[in-house]
């Protein structure tokens, strides 16, 4: 009978430890999901910077053009 009680106690301890492990892993899963979402948002921002830089380069006059404009205005 003592062996059965010890086995039941060990199984209850295992059940409790398993429940704690499940809670811990669920918390980790939530944090990893949030991290993944934030990573995707950062990726979108970085992808947009390529377009921002391309538009900026396209709309800015080149150094040669600004030099000619300065000369034209001076004359």
Tokens 């053009």: give the residue. Answer: 65
**Whether 17 contacts 10, CB under 8 Å:** no
More confident residue, 69 or 43: 43
Per DSSP, the residues of 11-49 read: HHHHHHHHHHHHHHHHHHHHHHHHHHHHHHHHHHHHHHH
* Residue range 27-58, pLDDT digits in tens: 999 999 999 999 999 999 998 888 888 888 88
For residue 59, name the pLDDT band (cuts at 50, 70, 90).
Answer: confident
Largest Cα–Cα distance in the chain? 110
Cα–Cα distances (Å) from 41 to 15, 18, 32, 46, 57, in that order, read 39, 35, 14, 9, 25
Predicted model pTM: 0.55
């Amino acid at each position: 009978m003592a062996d059965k009680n010890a086995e039941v106690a060990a199984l209850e301890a295992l059940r409790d430890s398993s429940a704690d492990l499940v809670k811990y892993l669920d918390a980790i899963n939530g944090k990893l999901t949030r991290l993944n979402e934030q990573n995707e948002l950062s990726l979108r921002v970085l992808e947009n910077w390529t377009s921002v830089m391309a538009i900026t380069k396209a709309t800015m006059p080149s150094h040669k053009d600004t030099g000619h404009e300065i000369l034209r205005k001076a004359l």
